[in-house]
Amino acid sequence: MKDSADLLFEIGCEEIPAGVLPGAIKELKVILEKYLASNNLTNGSEVEVYGAPRRLTAMCANVRLKQPDEVKEVTGPPKSVSYDATGKPTRAAESFAQKMNVPLDNLCLVATPKGEYLSAKQTIRGRSAKEILEDCLPRAAAEIPWARSMYWTGIKGLHFIRPIRWVVAMLGGKTLQVTLGDAVAGNATSGHRFLGKARVPVTGATDYIQKLKANYVLVRPEDRKNKIEGELKRLAGGKGLKIHEDSHLMNLVTYLNEYPTAIMGGFDPSFLELPNEILVTVMKDHQKYFALERKNGTLAPNFLAVINLDKDKEGLIRAGHERVLQARFADARFFWETDQKCRLADYLPKLSAVTYQEKLGSYADKVQRMRELARWLSEHWFASGITSASVGAADRAAELSKCDLVTEMVREFTELQGIVGGLYAKSQEEPEQIALAVYDQYKPAALEDSIPRNIVGQAVALADKFDSLVGCFAVGLIPSGSSDPFALRRAAIGIVKILVDAKLPVSLSMVISKAARALSTGPRKIPVSHAVEKQVLEFLLDRARFVLKERENLAYDEINAAFSAGADDLVEAIQRMEAIKAIRKTKNFEPLAVSFKRIRKILEKAGPEAGWKLPAVQPELFTEDAERELHIRAASVIKAVETHKRSAKFKDALQEIAALRPEVDRFFEKVMVMADDEQVRKNRLTLLSGLLLEFSTIADFSELVTADTAR
Amino acid sequence: MNPKVKTKAPKDATFQNLILQLQKYWSDRGCVLQQPYDIEVGAGTMHPETFLRVLGPEPYRVAYVQPSRRPADGRYGENPNRLFKHHQFQVILKPSPSDIQNLYLNSLTAIGLDLAAHDVRFEEDNWESPTLGAWGVGWQVLLDGLEITQFTYFQQSGGIDLDPVPAELTYGLDRICAYLQGVDSVYDVRWSDQYTYAQVKLLEEQQFSAYNFEYADPIITRNLFELHEKEATQLLNVYERQSDAPNPRFPILAAYDHCLKCSHLFNLLDSRGVISTTERAQLIGRIRQISCRVAVDYLAQQAASRSVAAIEEVTL
C-alpha cells in the first residue's frame, strides 16, 4: 500500500478582487505549509499554489497518509520500590505497567542522575492525514488575511473576501470531508463562467490543471500572463505598433481573467489632439486598456483590451469597448475645453473653499505659505551661487500649483492632479519652466520616481512638502504605525530625494523654521513650537538615514557620525560621509577614532565641565613633552582643518586630523590625565575637551563602529 | 470612426420593455414588485423597501424601478451619458441565495444579451453610503467595459450589522438600454415605439439642471433641511421616550420620510456649491444620525410586534 498521496485543495469563490488575489495565493501557501509541517505530514515538500478570479488552489505532492508513530519513553517509579529483594516486581511496578498499558515484561530500567528508574516505551499512533486535513483545511481557509472581508452565511459564519461557492478537497483521489461556509467539499471544480462546464469532476492534483484548461480556465497565473503577452505583442506587431508597457496593468489583467484574450480596438484620431497623459490615463487606469505607440513614439488611435473569453466572436465586444472609450474621451475633451474657458489663475479664489486640513486651513492658505517658502528657497540658492534659481518663477509656479484641484478634469481624473495644471499652464503659454514646475510638483511619488525636472519645480515641491510636514506635526497629525493619512513619510522621503539628487544646499533646520514662520504668521496663525521643529528634523533625518543607506552606499555609522556632528544640509552631509568613508580605512584613522572615544569617556568621567574647565589651556602647566607637543600640533591642525572645511574639502580636513595620531598616541602613553595636581589635571582635561570639540565639527568619531566597539 | 454596437436584442428593446422584462423576470423569482418611492431619493437603496427591509431576520424579496435624483450630475440635457435623474432597477434578495450570480446573469439573458458574445465581468467595487450608515462589498458588473450594475452584499445598514445578508442588485437602466439599442446618447433611446427618451425626459433634465445649479434658493433650501431634520428628530425623540411597550402604530416611517427629504436637500445644497468641505461632513453626520436612529427604532418596533403576534398566536 502506498503511504503517501497528492493533496488537492481548491477554494471556489465568487470573483476575488484582482488587487488582493496574488497576496492571498502566497498566504495560502505559507499557511498550508505551516500546517503540513507542524503535523509532520510532509518531508518538506513544497505546496504549489495557483489562483484565478474564482479560485484559490493549493497542491502538495507526497503528503503522508498517516503521521509516523511516535515512540515515547515514560519514566516510572525508582528501581528500589519497583522490585523487592528477590528481584520480583512489586505492586508499584505492576500498576505502572497497567497505567502505561504495556505487559510487565516490556518495562525496563533506565539510568538517570538520580539513580535507576523503571521506564516504559509507549507508542503514540500517528493520526491519519485525512483526519488532520479535515481539521486543518477549514482553519487554513479562515486564516487567509483580507483587508476587508465579508460574511454571507450569517454574522457568525465564515468571513472571507467573497462567498465561497464550491470546494475541492482531495487526498489521493479521495474526497475529504470539509465544509467552508455552506460549501461542502467534493471532487468537482467549476469551469469558466461562460465557456466551461459548471461541474468538472477531477481525480486529483494530476488532472486538475488539464481539466480546467479544457474548460477555459488557466489556473496558473504565469500561463495567463504568457498568453496575454504573446497576444498583445502579436496584435501590436501586426499594425507596426509598440505597446505602452505597464507592469501594474499587466499584473491586473492577469488576475482579472480566467481565460484572457487580447483584442484590439480603435478610437477617433481627432482625440489625439488631447494630451497623451489624459488619453493614457483614461485607457489605462479607467478602462484597463494598453495604449499603443507608433514607431516615432506618438500615440496611436488604437488600444488593446484583455477580455475574459476565448474570442470576440461577433465583434460586439470590440465595438462595445470602443463605444465606452469614445464616451470617456468625449467627457475628457469636454473638461479640457470648459476648464480652459478661463485661465488657470482664475481658479485661485475657489481654492479658499477647498479644505486642505481643518486646522491648517484651505488650499488658498496653503498656497500662500508655499509661495513664501518657495521664494525663500530660491533666494537662498541664488545667494549660494545657483544662478538658475528664480524667485519670481518659483513664486508664480507655487501660486498656480493647486489651481487644477478645482477643475472638472481633476475632479474626474484625480490621479492627474498637478499634471493637468501643468498642461493647462503650458497651453495657456505660461513660461515653460513654470508649466513644468506645476506639472512635476507631486514628484517624487516614491523613492524610485524621478524628481521635478527644474529648480523651480524643485522649489515648489519642497515648499509643498515642508509645509505639509511642519503643519501636520504642529497640529498633532504625526504618522504612527500604518496610519499616515497625509502621506508625510512619502513627503519626507521626497524632500530628501530632491535635495540629494539635485544637490541643493540648504540647512534642513533652517527650512523647517521658515516653514514654521510661514505657518505662524500666515492666515491661520498656527503656532509651531521649537519642540515640534526638532521633531520634524528628527523625522526627516530618520528618512535621510534610510535613503542614504539605500542609495548612496553609505554605512549607518558614517551617516550617524555626520548627523551627530550637526550636519543638516544633506548635500554637505553626504560630502562629509563620503570623506569619512574614504578615510576610515587609512592606517591612522581607526586608532584615532578609538582615542577620541577614550577622550570622550575620560571627559564624561571627569564630571560636569564647570568642575574642571579652564578658560584656556595654560602651556605653563604642562609637565610632559607629550602634552606640549600635542597642544602645539593641534593648534596648527585646527587651523588647517578650518581652512579645508570652509572650502568643503572634508577629506583633506579629516586627513589632517588623522595625521595627529602619533601625538595623540604618545600623549596617552606618557601622560596621566587624572594627575594628582588639580591644576595640571584641569589643564589636561581642558586640552582634551578642546580637541574633541574642534575635531567633532565634521564628524562625531565616537559614532563610528571601530574594531573595539564591534567586539 | 463611429462604432455602432450590434446586439441581438429583440426589435422591441424599448426602455419600457426593458423594465417590463426585468419586472417579469424577478417577479417570477418570488420578488414583490414594488413601485418607485414617492419622495426624492438619490438611489434605490434609500427606498424604505431596501433601507428598512434589509434590517432584521425576516426573509424578503423585492424589485422596483427607482428614478434617482443626483442634482450635481445634471448637465442640462447636453451630455449624452449624464443625467440629473437616472433610472435604477433595484432588486433585494434577503437572504442572498447561493446561486445569486447566476440568477443575475440569467436576467441579462432575459433582456436579450448573448453572454457568450459579450465580455461580462465582476470587478471589485465596495459600496458605502455615509448618510445611511450602510456599507457592503461586491462588484460593479461590466459589460464590454461599461458599468451596468452595482452588485452588493450588504453588511451593514443604519449602522446595524445585517443578519441574514441581503444581496442588492442595482441596474443602470438608462445606459443598459442605450447599449442594447446601440445608440451613443441616452436621449436617442427609444422609450416606447412612438417616443424617444428625449421626448419623454429632456425638458425635465433641462429645467431641473437649471433649478439645481442656478435657481434653488440656498437659504430656503437650508431652512427646509432644518425643518425636516427637526420634524424627524422630534418624532424619534417621542418614540424613544416611550420606553416599555413600543407602539406598533408610531410613525417611524414618517420620520424616515423626513430623513430622505434632508438627504435630497443636502444634495441640492451641494450642487448649488454652497457647502464647504467641513460643513459637508457635518451635514452628512446629521443625516446619518437620523437614519441610524430610524433603523434602531424600526427594528425595536418590529421585534415588539413580532412578540405580540407570537403571544396572540399562542392564546388563539
Taking contacts as CB-CB distances below 8 angstroms, the residues of chain A near B56 are none
Cβ distance A330 to B80 less than 8 Å, yes or no, reads yes
Cβ distance B139 to A15 less than 8 Å, yes or no, reads yes
Taking contacts as CB-CB distances below 8 angstroms, the residues of chain B near A190 are none
DSSP per position, A25-61: HHHHHHHHHHHHHHTT-SSSPPEEEEEETTEEEEEEE
Percent pLDDT > 70 in chain A is: 99
What is the 8-class DSSP label of residue A568?
A: -
DSSP per position, A295-320: TTSPEEEEEEEEESSS--TTSHHHHH
Banded pLDDT at A711 (limits 50, 70, 90): very low
Does a cis peptide bond (omega within 30 degrees of 0) precede residue B251?
Answer: no
The Cα of B153 is separated from the nearest Cα of chain A by a number of Å equal to: 8
DSSP per position, A127-190: PBHHHHHHHHHHHHHHHS--SS-EESS-TTS-EESS-EEEEEEEETTEEP--EETTEEEESEE-
Res. B132: pLDDT tops 50: yes
Taking contacts as CB-CB distances below 8 angstroms, the residues of chain B near A313 are 116-117
Cβ distance B6 to A319 less than 8 Å, yes or no, reads yes
In chain B, which residues touch A (CB < 8 A)? 1-7, 79-81, 96, 98, 101, 105, 115-124, 126, 136-137, 139, 143-146, 153, 155, 161-165, 179, 184, 276-278
Pick the closest to residue A421 from A351, A321, A352 (CA basis). Answer: A351
All three cell numbers of A373: 517658502
Judge whether A18 is closer than 8 Å to chain B, CB to CB. yes
Interval B215-266: pLDDT, tens: 999 999 999 999 999 999 999 999 999 866 778 889 999 999 999 999 999 9
Banded pLDDT at B5 (limits 50, 70, 90): very low
Banded pLDDT at A698 (limits 50, 70, 90): confident
> What phi and psi values does residue B155 have, to the nearest 5 degrees?
-115, -30
Cβ distance A358 to B184 less than 8 Å, yes or no, reads no
Measure CA A200 to chain center. Answer: 42
Enumerate residues 6+ apart whose C-beta is below 8 A from A423.
A275, A277, A278, A435, A439
Cβ distance B137 to A358 less than 8 Å, yes or no, reads no
- Residue B315 has a pLDDT of 63
Cβ distance A313 to B117 less than 8 Å, yes or no, reads yes
Q: Report how far residue A148's alpha carbon sits from residue A150's, in angstroms, rounded to the nearest whole number.
A: 7
Measure CA B122 to chain center. Answer: 20
Q: Report how far residue B176's alpha carbon sits from residue B9's, in angstroms, rounded to the nearest whole number.
A: 11
Percent pLDDT > 70 in chain B is: 94
B98, B155, B278 ranked by CB distance to A182: nearest: B98
Taking contacts as CB-CB distances below 8 angstroms, the residues of chain A near B122 are 14-15, 53
Q: Report how far residue A185's alpha carbon sits from residue A667's, in angstroms, rounded to the nearest whole number.
A: 82
Taking contacts as CB-CB distances below 8 angstroms, the residues of chain B near A366 are none
Q: Report how far residue B206's alpha carbon sits from residue B191's, in angstroms, rounded to the nearest whole number.
A: 18
Measure CA A309 to chain center. Answer: 36
Judge whether A266 is closer than 8 Å to chain B, CB to CB. yes
Cβ under 8 Å to B: A residues 44-73 = 53
Cβ distance B116 to A18 less than 8 Å, yes or no, reads no
Cβ distance B144 to A320 less than 8 Å, yes or no, reads yes
Q: Give the length of chain B.
A: 316
All three cell numbers of B315: 392564546
What is the 8-class DSSP label of residue A287?
A: T
Cβ distance A321 to B145 less than 8 Å, yes or no, reads yes
A150, A307, A326 ranked by CB distance to B119: nearest: A307
Asked if residues B201 and B119 have their Cβ atoms less than 8 Å apart, the reply is no
B136, B145, B278 ranked by CB distance to A320: nearest: B145
Q: To which H or E segment does residue A271 belong?
A: none
Taking contacts as CB-CB distances below 8 angstroms, the residues of chain B near A165 are 98
Which burial class, exposed, middle or buried, applies to A694 when counting CB atoms under 10 A from its CB (0-12, 13-18, 19+)? Answer: middle
B1, B98, B276 ranked by CB distance to A266: nearest: B1
**Does the interface ipTM go beyond 0.85?**
yes
Interval A7-63: pLDDT, tens: 999 999 999 999 999 999 999 999 999 999 999 998 778 999 999 999 999 999 999
Judge whether A23 is closer than 8 Å to chain B, CB to CB. no
Percent pLDDT > 90 in chain A is: 63
- Residue B316 has a pLDDT of 57
Average pLDDT on A655-676 reads 87
Taking contacts as CB-CB distances below 8 angstroms, the residues of chain A near B189 are none
Interval B135-184: pLDDT, tens: 999 999 999 999 999 999 999 999 999 999 999 999 999 999 999 998 98
Interval A514-536: pLDDT, tens: 999 999 998 889 999 999 999 99
A155, A308, A355 ranked by CB distance to B119: nearest: A308
Identify the residue among B144, B177, B180, B282 best suited for mutation to test binding to A, counting A beta carbons within 10 A and taking the highest. B144
Banded pLDDT at B3 (limits 50, 70, 90): very low
All three cell numbers of A307: 477580455
> What phi and psi values does residue A115 have, to the nearest 5 degrees?
120, -170
Angle at the Cα of A61 from the Cα atoms of A59 and A67, rounded to 5 degrees: 110
Taking contacts as CB-CB distances below 8 angstroms, the residues of chain B near A309 are 116, 119
Asked if residues A648 and A575 have their Cβ atoms less than 8 Å apart, the reply is yes
Enumerate residues 6+ apart whose C-beta is below 8 A from A71.
A121, A122, A123, A124
Comparing alpha-carbon positions, the chain A residue that sits nearest to B121 is: A308
The one-letter code for the residue type at A298 is T
Identify the residue among B121, B152, B168 best suited for mutation to test binding to A, counting A beta carbons within 10 A and taking the highest. B121
Interval B276-310: pLDDT, tens: 766 788 899 999 999 999 999 999 999 888 877 77
Cβ under 8 Å to B: A residues 559-618 = none
Res. A108: pLDDT tops 90: no
Q: Cell 570622550 appears where?
A: A600
Res. B80: pLDDT tops 90: no
Interval A571-612: pLDDT, tens: 999 999 999 888 888 887 888 888 888 888 888 888 888 888
Average pLDDT on A180-193 reads 96
Taking contacts as CB-CB distances below 8 angstroms, the residues of chain B near A150 are 136-137, 153, 155, 165
Enumerate residues 6+ apart whose C-beta is below 8 A from A517.
none
The Cα of B93 is separated from the nearest Cα of chain A by a number of Å equal to: 12
User: For B217-224, which contacts have Cβ atoms below 8 Å and span 24 or more sequence positions?
Assistant: B218/B269, B218/B272, B218/B274, B221/B265, B221/B268, B221/B269, B221/B272, B222/B265, B222/B269, B224/B261, B224/B265
Cβ distance A14 to B101 less than 8 Å, yes or no, reads yes
Banded pLDDT at A707 (limits 50, 70, 90): low
C-alpha count within 13 angstroms, C-beta hemisphere, residue A287: 29
- Residue A491 has a pLDDT of 95
CB atoms within 10 A of CB B50: 29
| Interior/surface letters A260-279, b for 16+ CB within 10 angstroms, e for the rest | bbbbbbbbeeebeebbeebb
- Residue B277 has a pLDDT of 67
Average pLDDT on A388-413 reads 93
Enumerate residues 6+ apart whose C-beta is below 8 A from A307.
A257, A260, A261, A262, A263, A317, B119
Cβ under 8 Å to B: A residues 91-150 = 148, 150
Comparing alpha-carbon positions, the chain B residue that sits nearest to A253 is: B123
Banded pLDDT at A703 (limits 50, 70, 90): confident
The Cα of B96 is separated from the nearest Cα of chain A by a number of Å equal to: 8
